[in-house]
Amino acid sequence: MIATSMSLLQHVCSVPIARAMRPRSVTIISSRSLSTTTSSSSTTSRASQVDPHVLLGMSEPELQQLATDLGQQSYRGKQLHHLIYQRKVKEIQDFSQLPLVFRNDLQEAGWKVGRSPIFQTVTAADGTVKLLIRLEDNRLIETVGIPVEDEKGSMRLTACVSSQVGCPLRCSFCATGKGGFSRNLQRHEIVEQVLAVEEIFKHRVTNVVFMGMGEPMLNLKSVLEAHRCLNKDVQIGQRMITISTVGVPNTIKKLASHKLQSTLALSLHAPNQKLRETIVPSAKSYPLDAIMKDCKEYFLETSRRVSFEYALLAGVNDRVEHAKELAELLHQWGRGHHVNLIPFNPIQGSDYKRPHKKAIQAFAAVLESRKVTVSVRQTRGLDASAACGQLRNEFQKSPLVINSDSLESQPENVAVAC
């Protein structure tokens, strides 16, 4: 979750942390137990398509058309757009600027705004906040808000958003995949995470990274729809949005065809195919040469350099020899790249360890000496299990949340993050 104009990832994690240090705390936003009436199979199939009666995610022209379809003048659609994206009103009955008959018609036709309740928040000492959001089908996802204050006192707020409930790719160092996979998120379920972060911080989100739970490229349709909405409706610049992927065949080309000005972040984690397969199991179906070729073509198509994410695992992929091999790999496939080093963040049940600071510095120095642009991601939210690779919802496979008393006594058990 981390440059200036060229790499949002570096931007978030390479600058000084927020000056205002807050003590770690846990807040239960909603204490209602979640019902368990929905079966996993029926929910997955229903959630695979955008709910046709959700307002969040719709563009202004679409909302204008909706208004006219319901017998209203088109300017009522503009009012709807303002209420949803500027005022951020959550319920149709609270659209007080609209005529009562229009509100009633919307509700009778089955329309809803599409905002989910924040079930729990955890605040880390550095001000990072992890949110647990309860979806309509009672599944739980996490998003992370990362505040960074600059020297002038202005704050940049990054939302690290999820694209799936869980993740099917099971990278060996990441907690999310260990928790299993339930389903893809709909476009409004992605957009609402950004609005939820704004609600908690009472501050506008300036940057968005698709680095939360899930593999964005396995839900590319919804991710692109959410990207459009975040850019056009929520008004976050494309260059302030990063889409991360571990690599899914044929999807980088698809993404490139949209010619977005957003950053593509590829989770590389190894300089050769054999080592990468031990860290990223899905790498077997997407050879390194093929993925690097697609990244090169992405740069040529979009003129946007690719940010290569590299999780440093002590004794596994962090040696000087690995750094030299990585530099050779990148130069082999041309220009337009940046390496973002991510020191491993501990997760339960993993034998991996975080490299010593000297090893991290030596790795970065080798890349710099070979003219590879590199940054080291600053760890944020570690004490709230909200750092990179730590997002995991222990209820994501069977999203049955125990009662609020149990949650309060075991706050760590609802950790999931980016």
Q: What is the mean pLDDT of residues 299-312?
A: 94
Residue 362 clears pLDDT 90, i.e. is over it: yes
Q: Which of 199, 28, 23 is nearest to 128 (CA)?
A: 23
Domain annotation covers residue 401: yes
| pLDDT score of 10 | 38
Q: What is the mean pLDDT of residues 354-366?
A: 96
Indicate if 75 and 100 belong to the same structural domain. yes
Q: How many domains does the chain have?
A: 2
pLDDT, tens digit, for every residue of 21-75? 333 444 444 433 333 333 333 444 444 455 679 999 999 999 999 999 999 999 9
Say how many C-beta atoms besides its own lie within 10 A of residue 17's C-beta.
18
Q: What is the mean pLDDT of residues 110-116?
A: 97
More confident residue, 380 or 172: 172
More confident residue, 334 or 373: 373
Indicate if 256 and 372 belong to the same structural domain. yes
Confidence category of residue 334, pLDDT binned at 50, 70, 90: confident
Q: What is the mean pLDDT of residues 286-301?
A: 95
Indicate if 85 and 163 belong to the same structural domain. no
Residue pair 201/129 in contact by the 8 Å Cβ criterion: yes
Q: Which of 311, 326, 318, 389 is nearest to 356 (CA)?
A: 318
Give me the chain's average pLDDT, please.
Answer: 82
Indicate if 143 and 283 belong to the same structural domain. yes
| pLDDT score of 379 | 66
Domain annotation covers residue 353: yes
Residue 290 clears pLDDT 70, i.e. is over it: yes
Q: What is the mean pLDDT of residues 219-233?
A: 98
Give the 3-state secondary structure percentages of the chain, helix then strand then coil, rounded to 5. Answer: 40, 15, 45
| pLDDT score of 75 | 97
pLDDT, tens digit, for every residue of 386-400? 444 444 444 444 443
Residue pair 60/81 in contact by the 8 Å Cβ criterion: yes
Task: Indicate the range of 28-42, 58-72, 88-102, 196-210 predicted with least confidence.
Answer: 28-42
Residue 2 clears pLDDT 80, i.e. is over it: no
- DSSP state, residue 15: S
225 tagged catalytic: no
Using CA atoms, how far apart are residues 119 and 255, in angstroms rounded to an integer?
Answer: 33
Domain annotation covers residue 214: yes
| pLDDT score of 29 | 43
Domain that holds residue 103: 55-108
Residue 106 clears pLDDT 80, i.e. is over it: yes
Domain boundary residue, one of 108, 135, 170: 108
Residue 192 clears pLDDT 80, i.e. is over it: yes
| pLDDT score of 52 | 78
Domain annotation covers residue 65: yes
Residue 167 clears pLDDT 80, i.e. is over it: yes
Domain annotation covers residue 22: yes
Domain CATH code at residue 302: 3.20.20.70
State the residue for tokens 């009472």.
Answer: 202
Indicate if 13 and 80 belong to the same structural domain. no
Residue 319 clears pLDDT 80, i.e. is over it: yes
142 tagged catalytic: yes
Q: Which residue of the set 160, 295, 388, 418 is catalytic? A: 388
Q: What is the mean pLDDT of residues 145-170?
A: 91
Confidence category of residue 171, pLDDT binned at 50, 70, 90: confident
Domain annotation covers residue 40: no
Confidence category of residue 416, pLDDT binned at 50, 70, 90: very low
Q: What is the mean pLDDT of residues 181-209?
A: 97
Residue pair 194/209 in contact by the 8 Å Cβ criterion: no
User: How deeply is 125 buried, as exposed, middle or buried, from its count of CB atoms within 10 A (0-12, 13-18, 19+)?
Assistant: middle
Domain annotation covers residue 262: yes
Residue pair 167/181 in contact by the 8 Å Cβ criterion: yes
Using CA atoms, how far apart are residues 66 and 9, in angstroms rounded to an integer?
Answer: 38
Indicate if 123 and 90 belong to the same structural domain. no
Residue 175 clears pLDDT 60, i.e. is over it: yes
Indicate if 349 and 231 belong to the same structural domain. yes
| pLDDT score of 49 | 53
pLDDT, tens digit, for every residue of 125-134? 999 999 999 9
Domain annotation covers residue 151: yes
Indicate if 166 and 68 belong to the same structural domain. no
Q: Which residue of the set 13, 136, 142, 189 is catalytic? A: 142
- Residue 285: phi and psi, rounded to 5, are -90, 0
Residue 330 clears pLDDT 50, i.e. is over it: yes
Residue pair 93/347 in contact by the 8 Å Cβ criterion: no
pLDDT > 70: percent of the chain: 77
Indicate if 200 and 60 belong to the same structural domain. no
Residue 408 clears pLDDT 50, i.e. is over it: no
Residue 253 clears pLDDT 70, i.e. is over it: yes
More confident residue, 255 or 4: 255
- Residue 344: phi and psi, rounded to 5, are -55, 135
Domain CATH code at residue 59: 1.10.150.530
Indicate if 336 and 235 belong to the same structural domain. yes
Indicate if 224 and 320 belong to the same structural domain. yes
Q: Name, in order, each residue with C-beta under 8 angstroms of 45's C-beta and a sequence gap of 6 or more.
A: none
Indicate if 293 and 370 belong to the same structural domain. yes
Domain boundary residue, one of 63, 91, 108: 108
Residue pair 253/147 in contact by the 8 Å Cβ criterion: no
